[in-house]
Amino acid sequence: MSEKSLAARPEIDVRGLHKSFGANEVLKGIDLEINQGEVVCVIGPSGSGKSTLLRCVNLLEEPTKGQVFVGGTELTDPDVDIDAVRRRIGMVFQQFNLFPHLTVTENLTLPQRRVLRRDKAQAAKVAAENLERVGLSEKASAYPASLSGGQQQRVAIARALAMGPEVMLFDEPTSALDPELVGDVLAVMRMLARDGMTMMVVTHEMTFAREVADRVVFMDGGVIVEDGTPEQVIGNPRHERTRHFLSRLLDPAMAEVEEETSDQVGGSGA
């Protein structure tokens, strides 16, 4: 169902993006195009600016300089109706942010009714469809506290999908989960990718990135160091910084050995 070949322009287009917090320049000129139906995984060390980039793509953070386009609309245009554009962008965070006093269905219907002005019956219908997509129809009347972390995250994904977004942004959606619950959430994300959703995913799940991503972007120090297929960036990284990050991620103990060795021999890595 992917319509990659039909895309006349990128679905997400980031041009010359800079973001500073006070004197701290966190994003130092990011250029990134993501086509319709593409899945791009963003990897990189803590503090490299991954979340800030994602938050700039739906203007949760205001860029200091540069432009962001989603579906051809410039979000950084001062005259843009930002609420209208945000409706086209779904976001899923590490923390699920469900309302604890509302049932699963109510968590899904509330934003539809408030933001999209859907009536009760239609919102309930869309909620049921999306709960089915994430495999949680039987939890429709449950409260979030009675669900596992993985189930709560799937509800959060269903809540975003119920708004009918054109693109989905994920910021480490599985990082807060116990290992045995990660798989179910990744399976839902795989399904979305197969259905042709345009996705930008900050993640440390390298197996997911290898299998599902069309492209992997490695960020370090507020810039994109490498951007390519998973085979290129994870399988055969060109830059020492990428190699170092990956070796540390895959085997923290080895990375220390490698660091000591490269200090001695002058840095020609594995």
Ligand X SMILES: Nc1ncnc2c1ncn2[C@@H]1O[C@H](COP(=O)(O)OP(=O)(O)OP(=O)(O)O)[C@@H](O)[C@H]1O
Q: Which of 52, 105, 112, 153 binds ligand X (CB under 6 A)?
A: 52
Chain Cα centroid distance, residue 256: 29
Nearest to residue 153, comparing CAs of 212, 203, 217? 203
The residue whose two tokens read 């219908």 is 125
Answer yes or no whether residue 48 interacts with Mg ion by CB under 5 A. no
The Cα 87–Cα 154 span in angstroms is 19
Which stretch in 50-58, 122-130, 156-164, 247-255 sits in contact with Mg ion by CB under 5 A? 50-58
Q: Which of 3, 21, 178, 254 binds ligand X (CB under 6 A)?
A: 21
Q: How far is the CB of 36 from Mg ion (least distance, A)?
A: 25
> 47 touches which of ligand X, Mg ion, none (CB within 5 to 8 A by kind)?
ligand X
Q: Which of 5, 46, 141, 264 binds ligand X (CB under 6 A)?
A: 46
Q: Which of 35, 36, 48, 51 binds Mg ion (CB under 5 A)?
A: 51
Of the pair 48, 198, the CB lying nearest ligand X is at 48
Chain Cα centroid distance, residue 126: 23
Q: How far is the CB of 52 from Mg ion (least distance, A)?
A: 8
Both tokens assigned to 124: 């309930």
Strand locations in the chain (E): 12-21, 24-34, 39-43, 65-70, 73-74, 89-92, 167-171, 198-202, 215-220, 223-228
Of the pair 140, 223, the CB lying nearest ligand X is at 223
Do 98 and 144 meet the contact criterion of CB atoms below 8 Å apart?
Answer: yes
Answer yes or no whether residue 47 interacts with ligand X by CB under 6 A. yes
Residues that bind ligand X (CB under 6 A): 21, 26, 44, 46-52
